Amino acid sequence: MYKIVSMGLVTVIGSVLTLSAGEDTVHCEVLDDGVEKIQCTFVTPRKDRDREVVFHWHSDEFPQDDREHTIMLPALNGSVYDYRYLWGRAEGMWTVTATLTEEDGSEREASRRFSLQSGKLAEAAH
């Protein structure tokens, strides 16, 4: 229970800080809900219409492990996430980029770069 509450609090605080700055961000972490996975959350200011977010996962050393996944960000929501199972994931440097498409067709991107070693994430310099 404590783990869930603390992660929720971190997400809420991160969302508030991000929205006050008005910038899009991506945050990644390892979660264990019975099966370990890497979850990356894209946070952006809320709008009153649906928008499309494309998550692109890229491994520097093993591009065959790359993936692109499109997710709908529902109206009035300010965040959406994508995840990959940790088991079988290539170690080394990863970049996760979330591309948001607005109603007018314009796009914005936010990225997170991290190192995956022994099932742990370490932030890389941007």
pLDDT tens-digit readout, 19-39: 445 799 999 999 998 899 999
- Which pTM value belongs to this model? 0.80
| Contact (CB, 8 A) for 22 and 43 | no
Judged against a pLDDT cut of 90, whether residue 126 lies above it is answered with no
The phi, psi pair for 40, rounded to 5°, reads -115, 125
Share of the chain above pLDDT 70, in %: 82
Q: How far apart are CA 78 and CA 89, in angstroms?
A: 28
Q: How far apart are CA 3 and CA 5, in angstroms?
A: 6
What length does the chain have?
126
User: Which helix (H) or strand (E) covers residue 125, if one does?
Assistant: none
Judged against a pLDDT cut of 80, whether residue 15 lies above it is answered with no
pLDDT tens-digit readout, 78-118: 999 999 999 989 999 999 999 999 888 899 999 999 999 99
Rg (CA), the chain: 15
Share of the chain above pLDDT 90, in %: 71
Q: pLDDT averaged over the chain?
A: 86
Alpha helix positions (H), the chain: 2-21
